[in-house]
């Protein structure tokens, strides 16, 4: 049997003991704390927010004043939150041929990256919150445009606001340099309609993405969502859809029988969908009560 060198063995024990003490001391000095680890980004409010704003002007408002409204609204593209641009604005003049088109003069589409950005933009709704919690530039715009709107008009209320969280899966589906015509459809359901029936109406609308014109798909984008605006100007509409077309001819083919009904000039799939959906919509004798259409050539 090999003899153990007592002196060397003792040195090894002392060395291991010293290393162990150092490790224990290090662990005591730097305790594990999960709060020091960067947390995963919060995703509950992530996702693009669509904000549709439609204005109806008083009859006395001049063409020059209307253009000033457009100019000032579009200038909100330069508005900042925490020193950085945080929204995008587009606009257009109603050009729908549908009998359900709303009687609004100009429409704006604002997009945000989060609910918190939308809330910062909307800002003051009663009370006097801290100026740091709302967009002063937008607040000034609201003060400017308010007296020009036909707030007493029974059909429009002077303004319509509809917000929803986007369900679009693709980013910028339509090339930014390409012509684009946006078609907005807003639905108000009958009080008796169930959530399951509402979902069938939504699913049927989304299926129109598969519709074809001359043998090829022609609808570039369908986005949708339930109303979540805080401004109380949604006029009772519950769900909205935004369709993007790359030509006015495609939009006319889609709208179909409201302006052209010869075979081959309208989308039979959309026509069949209209007959299906209207059973669930709060139309009664007033078409615009249950459906509101707003179309425009997109201006940036």
pLDDT in tens, 289-300: 799 999 999 999
pLDDT at 23 over 60: no
pLDDT value, residue 13 = 39
In a domain, 36, yes or no: no
pLDDT value, residue 17 = 40
pLDDT value, residue 275 = 92
In a domain, 205, yes or no: yes
Residue 283: band (very low, low, confident or very high) from pLDDT cuts 50, 70, 90: confident
pLDDT at 159 over 70: yes
In a domain, 206, yes or no: yes
In a domain, 2, yes or no: no
In a domain, 116, yes or no: yes
Taking residues 55-69, report their average pLDDT. 98
pLDDT at 61 over 90: yes
Name the percent of the chain lying above pLDDT 90: 67
CATH number reported for the structural domain that contains residue 249 in this entry? 3.30.70.100
- What are 168's two structure tokens? 């679009």
Residue 9: band (very low, low, confident or very high) from pLDDT cuts 50, 70, 90: very low
Q: Who has greater pLDDT, 61 or 35?
A: 61
pTM for the model stands at 0.81
pLDDT value, residue 262 = 83
In a domain, 67, yes or no: yes
Domain that holds residue 106: 46-297
The three-class DSSP label of residue 16 is helix
pLDDT at 35 over 60: no
Residue 25: band (very low, low, confident or very high) from pLDDT cuts 50, 70, 90: very low
User: Which helix (H) or strand (E) covers residue 183, if one does?
Assistant: strand 181-187
Q: Who has greater pLDDT, 240 or 264?
A: 240
Provide the domain count of the chain: 1
Burial of 254 (0-12, 13-18, 19+ CB in 10 A): buried
pLDDT value, residue 59 = 97
User: Which helix (H) or strand (E) covers residue 64, if one does?
Assistant: helix 63-74
In a domain, 232, yes or no: yes
In a domain, 287, yes or no: yes
pLDDT value, residue 128 = 52
What's the mean pLDDT when you consider all of the chain?
Answer: 83
- What are 182's two structure tokens? 């946006």
Distances (CA, A) of 88 to 50, 80, 246: 10, 11, 20
Q: Which of 13-17, 70-74, 186-190, 239-243 has the lowest mean pLDDT?
A: 13-17
User: What is the full DSSP assignment across 87-147?
Assistant: EEEEEE-----STTB---SEEEEEEEEEHHHHHHHH--SSS---GGGS-HHHHHHHHHHGG
CA angle centred on 140, ends 86 and 164, rounded to 5°: 45
């Amino acid at each position: 049997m090999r003899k153990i060198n007592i002196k060397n063995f003792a040195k090894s024990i002392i060395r291991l003991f010293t290393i162990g003490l150092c490790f224990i001391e290090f662990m005591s000095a730097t305790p594990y704390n999960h709060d020091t680890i960067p947390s995963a980004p919060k995703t509950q409010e992530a996702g693009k927010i669509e904000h549709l704003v439609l204005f109806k002007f008083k009859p006395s408002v001049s063409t020059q004043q209307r253009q000033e409204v457009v100019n000032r609204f579009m200038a909100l593209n330069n508005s900042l939150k925490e020193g950085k641009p945080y929204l995008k604005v587009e606009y257009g003049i109603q050009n729908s041929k549908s009998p359900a088109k709303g009687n609004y003069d100009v429409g704006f589409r604002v997009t945000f990256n989060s609910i918190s950005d939308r809330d910062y933009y909307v800002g003051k709704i009663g009370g006097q919150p801290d100026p740091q919690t709302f967009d002063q530039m937008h607040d000034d715009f609201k003060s400017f445009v308010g007296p020009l709107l036909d707030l007493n008009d029974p059909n429009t209320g002077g303004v319509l606001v509809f917000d929803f969280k986007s369900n679009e899966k693709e980013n910028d589906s339509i090339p930014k340099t390409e012509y684009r015509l946006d078609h907005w459809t807003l639905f108000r359901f009958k009080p008796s309609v169930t959530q399951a029936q509402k979902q069938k109406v939504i699913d049927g609308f989304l299926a129109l993405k598969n519709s074809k014109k001359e043998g090829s798909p022609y609808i570039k984008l369908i986005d949708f969502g339930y109303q979540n605006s805080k401004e109380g100007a949604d006029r009772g509409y519950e769900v909205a859809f935004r369709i993007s077309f790359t030509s006015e001819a495609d939009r006319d083919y889609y709208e179909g029988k409201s302006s052209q009904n010869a075979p081959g000039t309208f989308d039979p799939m959309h026509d069949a969908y209209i007959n299906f959906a209207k059973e669930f919509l709060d139309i009664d004798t007033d078409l615009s009560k249950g459906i509101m259409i707003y179309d425009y050539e997109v201006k940036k």
